[in-house]
Amino acid sequence: MLLNNRGGTYMNIGKLKLAEADFNSAINFEPNNAKAYYNRGLVHYFKSKTQLAIEDFNQAILYNRDFSTAYNYRGMMYEKLKEYNLAENDYMKAIETNEEFFDAYNNLGNVKSTMGHDLAALVYFTKAIELNPSDSKYYYNRGRSLLQLKKHKKAIVDFSSAIKINPLNINAYYNRAICYRFIKQNINAITDFNKVLELNPKDGEAYDNRASTYYLHLKNKIKGCADYKKACELGYCRNYNIVVRDNLCKF
């Protein structure tokens, strides 16, 4: 217990080598210590040692079949390896052992979306929001699935909720801008692209999308061409090359 606690303290302050040493000692002292394997798995997770993390989470689950957070983290490791079916199974197991595990619902929604099952993903994102309505990323993730399903107005509501909780959620601004453009609210789209570029002035893709909004939708060729040029300066040149090739902009 003492080694686990001290290792946890080391891990929380970023001293991963000392943490791992304590967890190793805890496992040597008590080879069926599920918590020590779990904690060492977290160290491997933080060090991006995916396979070693999986091996330790396996051991944690072996000694504690109801270890919901171990299932959740092992699912995250499988997802990182693009083993989506295995990830899905682990997230389901995490929820089975803890029905109020909101992060597991969110993670399950993400893997469902990655697999192209956005309608199913909505169910899990909604459950995560019901259990923990104060997390910006849950609204963002549900909004992203709604965008994939072309439910643009509903997606805007979720992206707006994500932004209200976290005004620095740059991806929510970006995706809300895309939704605004789909429903022809182009001034609102420009406002959101402006915010994205305020938060990240080197986002070439945002410049490119703002350029297309100006050029194609608002018929403002001067601002559109300027943004295409800026996008290309930042490495996003596809549309810039087209307007140059077709002599659509004067540079």
Number of domains in the chain: 4
Residue 79: partners with Cβ closer than 8 Å, 6 or more residues away = 87, 107, 110, 111, 114
Maximal C-alpha separation, the chain: 74
- Within a domain: residue 141? no
- Within a domain: residue 145? no
Q: Which residue has the tokens 């944690």?
A: 60
Same domain, 1 and 54: yes
- Within a domain: residue 210? yes
Same domain, 91 and 125: yes
For 214, the domain range is 205-251
pLDDT at position 119: 98
- pLDDT per position as a tens digit, 156-175: 999 999 999 999 999 999 99
Torsion of Cα atoms, 25 then 27 then 29 then 32, to 10°: 170
Residue 103: partners with Cβ closer than 8 Å, 6 or more residues away = 72, 128
- Within a domain: residue 211? yes
- pLDDT per position as a tens digit, 189-236: 999 999 999 999 999 999 999 999 999 999 999 999 999 999 999 999
Same domain, 165 and 214: no
pLDDT at position 5: 87
pTM of this prediction exceeds 0.95: no
- Within a domain: residue 167? yes
- Within a domain: residue 41? yes
Read off the DSSP letter of residue 48: T
**To the nearest whole number, what is the mean pLDDT of the chain?**
96
- pLDDT per position as a tens digit, 77-101: 999 999 999 999 999 999 999 999 9
